[in-house]
Amino acid sequence: MVISLAKRDLITIEDLSNQEIEAVFALADEMAEGLREQSNVCRGMIMASLFFEPSTRTRMSFEAAMNRLGGRVISVMEMRNTSLAKGESIADMARVVGSYADIIVIRHPWEGAARVVADYADVPVINAGDGGHEHPSQTLLDLYTIKKERKTLEGLKIALWGDLKYGRTVHSLAYALARFGATMHFRPSAGFEMPEHVIRKLTAEYAGRLERYNGPKEEKEKGLIPLDAIYVTPSGPHQLANIPAVGIQIELEKGVDALYVTRLQKERFEPSAEGLKKGYPVVDKKLFKEKGFKETIVMHPLPRVGELAYEMDSDPRSMYFKQAAGGVPIRMALLSLLLGCKTVDIPESKVPSFAKKMEHPVYKRETGVKCQNEKCVSVQETEREYIKHEFQIVSNEPLTLRCVYCEHEIHPPYIASSKWHQGLVENKRYYKADSFMLGRIKPENLIIFNSEEKAQHQGFKLGKRVKPVGNAK
Ligand code: NCD
């Protein structure tokens, strides 16, 4: 069945189904076979390349890809060269650039910025990295490399290494691997663990089973032992029989298919990372003598800054330069699909395309509930005026809201119902979010407050029934 991806955005890796990802790879193979023969595919098209953070590989491979396809590129590389420096909003920039170009590729330090561009531009938008959030086109070329080396994407064992907190590439990669039924070992440097909101998605939405490390603390501190492991079966909810009945350490000795190394994202936090860098694990020949790594390929999105020894370059298991080279055919395939210059052919039997995406109720009332992530686009001074705070209600125990822009979570303390007050001031009551009242209010009627003052300011009084859920009889 022929499917068009024309006009679609790629903001998160979840925007593509597994079958669409495989179809991008098939087209990338075709492109790779004749890189110089594609110069009519996107003739007459313009790509806007907006990179407001440093980039070598991503920007140049996108630009090389568009050039190889016969299209043209307009670009800006620094915020200070645009009207953003004059205080222009991302939304206004997006509208304007969308009227100059046929597709926009954007890298920006604020988490959720690419989503805002997609909301306001009339052309397809590709997220080339939004702060520490996601980097989905990098994931495409990471998976492409894994598939080439391992011949499949299903059911692999992958270790993610280094800065899992701020590394956007590992967030997108983990979501994709989960959908292909991977077992993942997380080996963060101390203090740079996978964020809880990412773990929640992997466990709740991809039915992954989480195993936390509970071995000796000293071993953990050495940084070589995975802190957590996630096991996912490709077909959805776990059948217990499929879960390996072994601990993380035993799993480790059996080896992993790929070790994905990342650098410390020192530009994303204060104070300076120099002290932290001391404990950062290094991948070198000595480590790769370990039994568990015998068949393991080494990957890295690059740039490397000390965590991956140069002596590994001659090792046949090292894949990072090959990985980077895949960026051009992958991005050629992606651009030509989103521009509608190519279509994908997906076998009929495989068409139920999305690995069932979980739908959550949305909360977007103006009650002062804001994202707490200071890097989120929704809380920036230039964007605050027009961006409406919007969340998915991802859990009721405890009440958990996920920001639709950066995906960070908040746990607001007070709730009320819009149904019950019906304009009668005396009926306006608010309750604690951990009381059983939460279960009584339909999501569409839910009103959420950050503080009692906010609730009272809007005319609500504290309701009587405020017992926490656990005590409810
Ligand atoms: C990565 C990025 O920008 O997130 N690089 C890349 O796109 N190749 C990884 C990094 O900068 O560490």
Asked if domains 2-132+325-344 and 137-318 share a fold, the reply is yes
Q: Say yes or no: domain 2-132+325-344 is CATH 3.40.50.1370.
A: yes
Q: Would you say residue 136 has pLDDT above 80? A: yes
Domain boundaries, the chain: 2-132+325-344, 137-318, 362-462
Q: Would you say residue 147 has pLDDT above 80? A: yes
Q: Would you say residue 351 has pLDDT above 80? A: no
pLDDT band at 85 (very low <50, low <70, confident <90, very high): confident
H or E element at residue 325: helix 320-325
Atom of ligand 1 at shortest distance to CA of 57? 8
Tell me, what's the pLDDT at 245?
38
What would the two tokens of residue 417 be? Answer: 């119902």
Tell me, what's the pLDDT at 259?
94
Q: How far is CA 417 from CA 179, 182, 185, 445, in A?
A: 37, 41, 42, 5
Mean pLDDT score, 404-420: 93
Distance 345 CA to ligand 1 centre (A): 31
Counting residues of the chain whose pLDDT is more than 70, the rounded percentage is 86
432 within ligand 1 shell (Cβ under 6 A): no
Class of domain 362-462: mainly beta
pTM above threshold 0.85: yes
Atom of ligand 1 at shortest distance to CA of 138? 7
Q: What confidence tens digit (pLDDT) does each residue in 226-278 have? A: 667 777 755 444 333 334 434 555 566 678 899 999 999 999 988 665 556 66
Quote the radius of gyration of the chain (alpha carbons, Å): 24
> DSSP characters for 403-441?
ETTT--EE---EEEEHHHHTT-GGG-EEEETTBTHHHHS
Tell me, what's the pLDDT at 86?
83
Tell me, what's the pLDDT at 347?
77
pLDDT band at 84 (very low <50, low <70, confident <90, very high): confident
Probe target for ligand 1 pocket from 49, 58, 304, with the most ligand atoms within 8 Å of CB: 58
pLDDT band at 188 (very low <50, low <70, confident <90, very high): confident
61 within ligand 1 shell (Cβ under 6 A): no
402 DSSP β-pair partners: 392, 409
Distance 195 CA to ligand 1 centre (A): 18
Tell me, what's the pLDDT at 353?
40
Quick one: CA torsion of 171, 174, 175, 179, rounded to 10 degrees? 170
Distance 189 CA to ligand 1 centre (A): 17
pLDDT band at 217 (very low <50, low <70, confident <90, very high): low
Class of domain 137-318: alpha beta
pLDDT band at 290 (very low <50, low <70, confident <90, very high): confident
Tell me, what's the pLDDT at 464?
76
327 within ligand 1 shell (Cβ under 6 A): no
3-state secondary structure of 244: coil
Distance CA 114, CA 41 (A): 26
Residue with the smallest CA separation from ligand 1 atom 1 is 301
Lowest mean pLDDT among 144-148, 231-235, 460-464: 231-235
Environment class of residue 304 by beta-carbon count within 10 Å: exposed (0-12), middle (13-18) or buried (19+)? middle
Tell me, what's the pLDDT at 251?
61
Distance 236 CA to ligand 1 centre (A): 30
pLDDT band at 419 (very low <50, low <70, confident <90, very high): confident
Residue with the smallest CA separation from ligand 1 atom 7 is 58
Q: What is the mean pLDDT of the chain?
A: 88
Pairwise pLDDT comparison (304 vs 464), residue with the higher score:
304
Distance CA 344, CA 37 (A): 19
Counting residues of the chain whose pLDDT is more than 90, the rounded percentage is 68
Q: Would you say residue 123 has pLDDT above 90? A: yes
Distance CA 405, CA 384 (A): 13
Distance 77 CA to ligand 1 centre (A): 16
Q: What confidence tens digit (pLDDT) does each residue in 12-57 have? A: 999 999 999 999 999 999 999 999 999 999 999 999 999 999 999 9
Alpha helix (H) residue ranges in 186-273: 196-200, 217-221, 248-253
Environment class of residue 207 by beta-carbon count within 10 Å: exposed (0-12), middle (13-18) or buried (19+)? middle
Atom of ligand 1 at shortest distance to CA of 265? 12
